[in-house]
Amino acid sequence: MIAIWHFAIARSTSTLLPGPWSVVLGLVDLLQHGLLFKYVVASLFRVTWGFLLALCLAIPAGLAAGWFERLDLALNPIIQILRPISPLAWIPIAILWFGVGDAAAIFLIFVGCFFPLLVTTINAVRNIPSVHIQAGRNFGLGPVTLVMRVLLPAALPQLIVGMRITLGIAWLVVVAAEMIAVNSGLGFLIVDARNAGNRYDLVVAGMVMIGLIGLVIDICMRSLERIPSLRWTYVENA
């Protein structure tokens, strides 16, 4: 792929799109000025807090809505109205509420993650075989214990898949948010490099870093599927 990129640029008459070596030099330039590490940390900071906040709120709400049918009936219209709204459509409101900074970006990531996690959790609870719930009741488990020892463990394999997908959404949202709502991060790097003298080597360097970090995040999330306590569902579905 890199060879194709190199030869395509070499045969092109355009001087705007940089070649692989120019991008490498751009990354070295960012490292020398201490910007690459700073921007990567800034983006990861926002993704971490936005994702964790959505996780802490969406999973309990999803467990409750999946368990209590009336609650689900009450919340479902609101969820289905808000869920299709793009997180980027919230940018003006985020800036109005939080100003330009980390809080606005974290809010946008939270919005982008909350509804997918909520719907995934509700569906995961509904897909739990009734025999598991009946067995828990036969052992005299109370409501809280039943949730913690039956519902959550049974739904966790599906939640891991949902978390993996949602974390990818969070990484997409943070890049878009940083292009508008903050003055640091990889998204800001791309826009700033474009505006500051058409530094397309830095633009592509930022894109490469976004892709590489996204790959690492996905690999880390997939590793959770190999936890022994979660392997039962994949064996069962094999």
Could you tell me the CATH number of the domain that includes residue 93?
A: 1.10.3720.10
Would 108 be classed as within a structural domain?
yes
Would 7 be classed as within a structural domain?
no
Task: Return per-residue pLDDT of the chain as tens, 238 residues.
Answer: 667 665 666 666 655 666 777 778 878 888 888 888 888 898 899 999 999 999 999 988 988 888 788 888 888 888 889 888 888 888 888 888 888 788 888 999 999 999 999 999 888 888 877 777 777 777 777 777 777 777 778 888 888 888 888 988 888 888 888 887 777 888 888 888 777 767 777 888 888 888 888 888 888 888 877 766 665 554 444 4
Distances (CA, A) of 110 to 8, 86, 99, 153: 40, 12, 16, 24
Would 2 be classed as within a structural domain?
no
Residues 6+ positions from 110 with CB-CB distance below 8 Å: 50, 51, 53, 54
Would 75 be classed as within a structural domain?
yes
Would 168 be classed as within a structural domain?
yes
Would 235 be classed as within a structural domain?
no
Would 230 be classed as within a structural domain?
no
Instruction: Quote the pLDDT of residue 234.
Output: 45
Q: Total structural domains in the chain?
A: 1
pTM for this prediction: 0.82
Q: Among positive and negative, which fits the CA dihedral 34, 37, 40, 43?
A: negative
Structural domain span for residue 208 = 21-225
Would 6 be classed as within a structural domain?
no
